[in-house]
């Protein structure tokens, strides 16, 4: 099944339409993304760190990331792309990271060219490794994967440090190393995305994140300059936490949440999303089972 999802995802990337992958902050939100008809699910390292009450500076472990992404994969038939940071260690650790996430069922993962410990891609003070090290990471990932359809995505944070020309050179080198897709972080304009599109012959990914370095380009704008896939990594978490904070303020001030009940997902809709009925049907089918002789 997983191999089939990966094959279909690669085929979709080769099509004329840009794919959109909202970020899931829980497995249940991944199921909602699927129900709303999106092309896939993104699993953000920043979101996983935030869920643990940690900043996005490389503090999460491979075990934590693998556990969470396995839970997300379990509840959806959509392809899942996961943020693998810098690989959780040196080259041999990176190889194990690729295989662990592949076994968890992801359709693809991205690795970045920052130094350890990494920083959020839209913060100042980032540092990147040299091209040789960046290339070695991607080469190791491509070599380590067992399923050739697993998508290895190379992220580069060079734009904010050395400019667009250096980013284009780095992107070409990463493609030569075997990257299936290029993720140029924090580009400043649509023209820069168009330049990356012209520079490489693999799909390119755009990170559409609020409060970041770049404008919130629309899907139509990104598609018009050749972007193949857009991720919305932290949007649902920010919306959910914003709503939770407002609700707590209301509860503290008013002593009740009655005014906010219309904004809540209803019990019946939540149960529908959880597929509650299917568990009852399964339970009933087991309880009612008898053999031909009438024995349970």
Name the 3-class secondary structure at 131: helix
Q: Can 51 be counted among the known catalytic residues?
A: no
Q: Which long-range contacts (CB under 8 A, 24 or more apart) does 276-281 make?
A: none
Of the residues 6, 39, 83, 170, only one is catalytic, namely 83
Of the residues 20, 42, 149, 170, only one is catalytic, namely 42
Q: Can 279 be counted among the known catalytic residues?
A: no
Of the residues 68, 145, 157, 207, only one is catalytic, namely 207
Of the residues 39, 68, 85, 170, only one is catalytic, namely 85
Per the listing, tokens 């491979």 go with 62
Of the residues 6, 31, 113, 120, only one is catalytic, namely 120
Of the residues 56, 102, 180, 223, only one is catalytic, namely 56
Q: Can 103 be counted among the known catalytic residues?
A: no
Q: Can 122 be counted among the known catalytic residues?
A: no
Of the residues 6, 39, 68, 112, only one is catalytic, namely 112
Of the residues 10, 68, 110, 159, only one is catalytic, namely 110
Q: Can 56 be counted among the known catalytic residues?
A: yes
User: What are 225's two structure tokens?
Assistant: 């300059």
Q: Can 74 be counted among the known catalytic residues?
A: no
CA distance 139 to 145: 10
Q: Can 228 be counted among the known catalytic residues?
A: no
Q: Can 39 be counted among the known catalytic residues?
A: no
Of the residues 185, 192, 223, 228, only one is catalytic, namely 185
Q: Can 214 be counted among the known catalytic residues?
A: no
What angle (nearest 5°) sits at the alpha carbon of residue 107, between those of residues 116 and 229?
80
CA distance 227 to 131: 24
Determine the length of the chain.
296
CA distance 12 to 92: 32
Mind telling me the catalytic residues?
A: 42, 56, 83, 85, 110, 112, 120, 155, 185, 207
């Amino acid at each position: 099944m997983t191999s089939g999802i990966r094959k279909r995802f690669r085929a979709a990337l080769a099509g004329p339409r840009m794919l959109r992958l909202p970020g899931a902050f829980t497995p249940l939100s991944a199921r909602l993304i699927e129900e709303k008809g999106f092309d896939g699910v993104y699993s953000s390292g920043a979101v996983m760190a935030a869920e643990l009450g940690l900043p996005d500076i490389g503090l999460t472990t491979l075990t934590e990331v693998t556990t969470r992404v396995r839970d997300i994969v379990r509840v959806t038939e959509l392809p899942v792309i996961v943020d693998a940071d810098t690989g959780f260690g040196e080259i041999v650790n990176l190889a194990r990271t690729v295989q662990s996430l592949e076994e968890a069922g992801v359709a693809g993962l991205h690795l970045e060219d920052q130094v350890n410990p990494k920083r959020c891609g839209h913060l100042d003070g980032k540092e990147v490794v040299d091209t040789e090290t960046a290339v070695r990471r991607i080469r190791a990932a491509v070599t380590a994967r067992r399923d050739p359809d697993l998508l290895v995505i190379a992220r580069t944070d060079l734009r904010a440090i050395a400019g667009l020309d250096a980013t284009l050179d780095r992107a070409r080198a990463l493609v030569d190393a075997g990257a299936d897709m290029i993720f140029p972080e924090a580009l400043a304009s649509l023209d820069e995305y168009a330049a990356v599109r012209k520079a490489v012959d693999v799909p390119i990914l755009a990170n559409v994140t609020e409060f970041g370095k770049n404008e919130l380009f629309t899907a139509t704008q990104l598609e018009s300059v050749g972007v193949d896939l857009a991720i919305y990594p932290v949007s649902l978490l920010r919306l959910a936490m914003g709503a939770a904070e407002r609700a707590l303020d209301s509860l503290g001030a008013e002593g009740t949440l009655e005014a906010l009940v219309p904004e809540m997902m209803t019990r019946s809709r939540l149960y529908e999303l959880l597929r509650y009925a299917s568990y009852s049907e399964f339970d009933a089918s087991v309880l009612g089972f008898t053999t031909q002789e009438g024995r349970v």
